[in-house]
């Protein structure tokens, strides 16, 4: 059966189509909360926009939930702590609306500078107030940008095309990057005192909430204009209204509000303000992009893939493509390690070897842990909750990097001690086989980590391979690949991939064959 995804708010038809390729879609747009909770009881995915409050109660009502998708950027309406504790990945569409938001910012700057809404209302009211509705040019003015993320960067580029000088405050941006952008990086206080137009492109959090308050407005030029297309709550609306009425600042253009929907506000009666109802992402293009992006992320999560843009997924530095292709290898190696050792070691060590050692090992360690823990808990193990489950089982995860490697350009090695025995498995990714198991406890083999696979330790004597092949043939089990490796002692190891599932009875029969010392069977995804 296809995994069920509940869609609680409207998204584009393109987004629904992207979901339907892999999922069963339950359209629950406009239903009341109790009905939504009922629909979530057997859902594996939930898709929302900004209006649905996804709290701990809602997450608890969905015991099979794997992923929550937000068709947009902000996740203020989702309880991230509750989602993380439940092992639920939260994904969004962080890049879908960046162009639309940047363009809306420029539209508000121009509308504020040229008094366009006021002029439109005046003319519609039968007045020709050309002399009274003069504006200002933005050419030559200083644009202060709070936050040089993707949207802040796009706004800066567009403002410079209008001939504005751009200064910015962003403690996470280097001077070198700002210099390459042609932006002067200065501190927050200096932005306030310098800017003719001040535009906000920051997330709302404990550091930014209320950032622009009465004290901030007092430091600004009396001719300065404030523009907010980011998040409500960063600007204190009562203080902004007071500053506009007193003439402390020259104007404002606001698209987002502390409480939405917002139909009553002290800003309504304030002079020199342009207001729009959260239209930053309200373009056909942005809605299509957001719907498709979040649908694809939900489907990928439900297929067991690692969605690197997960909001509550801490992978450290960005995961480059060179490392991403090794994540499936790490997951399968984790499964092999525990399956062969019959347990998870207290110290679970993941080593990145060769070329991949220059990147963060954390994503590989998390992927290996996800694979390993699937044997030791009935809870669904995800990239989100793997570390917390490991901690609950007293498992410490160690990450190591080693530049040298013997046979492969890059490889992953997992080591640990189980029941007093030191164990090791290693693997790599190859162009012709994909994820490959390359070593088990000193035995060197190269068998693909996929499908139905037997790992067999056997006497290194004539006839053992034939007996195994004969037994499988008698049971109508076809061998698709077989690799034999030695370790220097009197035993050998076989990696055998077969075309059909091995039953418990057949596995017991293999164990009884003369010369077979141990056998483990894996069904890989």
**Residue 454, Cβ density class (10 Å: 0-12 exposed, 13-18 middle, ≥19 buried):** buried
Residues with a catalytic annotation lie at 231, 260, 278
Which strands sit side by side in the sheet containing 184-185, from one edge to the other?
184-185, 165-169, 142-146, 197-200, 225-228, 251-254, 273-275
CA distances in angstroms from 230 to 147, 158, 358, 359, listed in the order given: 10, 17, 36, 33
- What residue spans of 26-115 are helical by DSSP H? 33-39, 56-60, 80-85, 98-114
Write out the two tokens for 53.
């409050």
Contact 457, 443 (CB under 8 A): yes
Distance CA(367)–CA(351), nearest Å, equals: 12
In which residue are the tokens 């991230």 written? 80
For 274-296, the DSSP string reads: EE-SS-TT-SHHHHHHHHHHHHH
Most distant pair of Cα atoms in the chain: their distance: 103
Q: Specify the DSSP element, H or E, that contains 161.
A: helix 150-161
List CB contacts of 120: < 8 A, sequence separation 6 or more. Answer: none
Distance CA(520)–CA(215), nearest Å, equals: 69
List CB contacts of 437: < 8 A, sequence separation 6 or more. Answer: 332, 333, 336, 425, 426, 427, 445, 446, 447, 448, 449, 455, 495
Write out the two tokens for 211.
């950032």
Q: In terms of Cα–Cα distance, which of 141, 142, 140, 168 is closest to 154?
A: 168
Contact 160, 182 (CB under 8 A): yes
Distance CA(8)–CA(507), nearest Å, equals: 47
Contact 164, 138 (CB under 8 A): yes
**Residue 13, Cβ density class (10 Å: 0-12 exposed, 13-18 middle, ≥19 buried):** exposed
List CB contacts of 357: < 8 A, sequence separation 6 or more. Answer: 401, 402, 403, 410
């Amino acid at each position: 059966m296809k995994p069920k995804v509940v869609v609680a708010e409207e998204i584009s038809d393109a987004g629904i189509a992207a979901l339907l390729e892999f999922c069963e879609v339950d359209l629950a747009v406009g239903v009341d909360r109790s009905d939504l909770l009922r629909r979530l009881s057997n859902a594996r995915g939930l898709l929302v926009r900004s209006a649905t409050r996804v709290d701990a109660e809602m997450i608890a009502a969905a015991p099979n939930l794997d992923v929550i998708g937000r068709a947009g950027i902000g996740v203020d309406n989702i309880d991230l702590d509750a989602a993380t504790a439940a092992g639920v990945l939260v994904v969004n569409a962080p890049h879908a609306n960046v162009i639309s938001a940047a363009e809306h910012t420029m539209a508000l700057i121009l509308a504020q500078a040229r008094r366009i809404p006021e002029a439109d209302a005046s003319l519609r009211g039968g007045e020709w107030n050309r002399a009274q509705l003069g504006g200002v040019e933005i050419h030559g003015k200083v644009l202060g940008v709070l936050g040089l993320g993707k949207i802040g960067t796009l706004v800066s580029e567009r403002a410079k095309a209008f001939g504005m000088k751009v200064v910015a405050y962003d403690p996470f941006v280097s001077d070198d990057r700002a210099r390459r952008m042609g932006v002067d990086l200065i501190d927050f206080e200096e932005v306030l005192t310098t800017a003719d137009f001040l535009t906000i492109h920051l997330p709302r959090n404990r550091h930014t909430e209320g950032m622009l308050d009465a004290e901030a407005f007092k430091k600004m030029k009396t001719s300065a204009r404030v523009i907010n297309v980011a998040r409500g709550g960063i600007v204190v609306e009562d203080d902004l209204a007071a500053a506009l009425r007193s003439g402390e600042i020259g104007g404002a253009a606001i698209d987002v509000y502390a409480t939405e929907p917002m139909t009553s506000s002290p800003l309504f009666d304030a002079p020199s303000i342009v207001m729009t109802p959260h239209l930053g992402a309200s373009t056909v293009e942005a809605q299509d992009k957001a719907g498709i992006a979040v649908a694809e992320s939900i489907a990928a999560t439900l297929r067991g893939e690692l969605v690197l843009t997960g909001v509550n997924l801490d992978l450290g530095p960005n995961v480059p493509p060179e490392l991403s292709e090794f994540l499936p290898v790490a997951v399968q190696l984790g499964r092999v390690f525990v399956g062969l050792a019959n347990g998870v070691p207290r110290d679970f060590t993941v080593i990145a070897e060769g070329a991949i050692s220059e990147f963060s090992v954390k994503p590989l360690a998390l992927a290996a842990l996800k694979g390993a823990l699937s044997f030791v808990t009935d809870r669904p193990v995800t990239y989100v909750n793997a570390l917390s489950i490991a901690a609950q089982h007293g498992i410490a995860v160690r990450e190591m990097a080693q530049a040298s490697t013997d046979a492969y350009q890059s490889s992953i090695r997992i080591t640990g001690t189980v029941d007093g025995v030191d164990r090791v498995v290693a693997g790599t990714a190859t162009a012709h086989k994909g994820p490959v198991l390359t070593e088990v406890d000193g035995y060197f083999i190269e068998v693909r980590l996929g499908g139905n696979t037997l790992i067999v330790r056997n006497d290194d004597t004539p006839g053992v391979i034939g007996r195994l092949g004969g037994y499988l043939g008698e049971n109508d089990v076809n061998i698709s690949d077989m690799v034999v490796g030695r370790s220097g002692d009197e035993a050998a190891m076989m990696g055998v991939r077969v075309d059909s599932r091995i039953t418990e009875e057949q596995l017991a029969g293999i164990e009884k064959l003369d010369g077979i010392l141990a056998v483990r069977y894996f069904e890989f995804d």
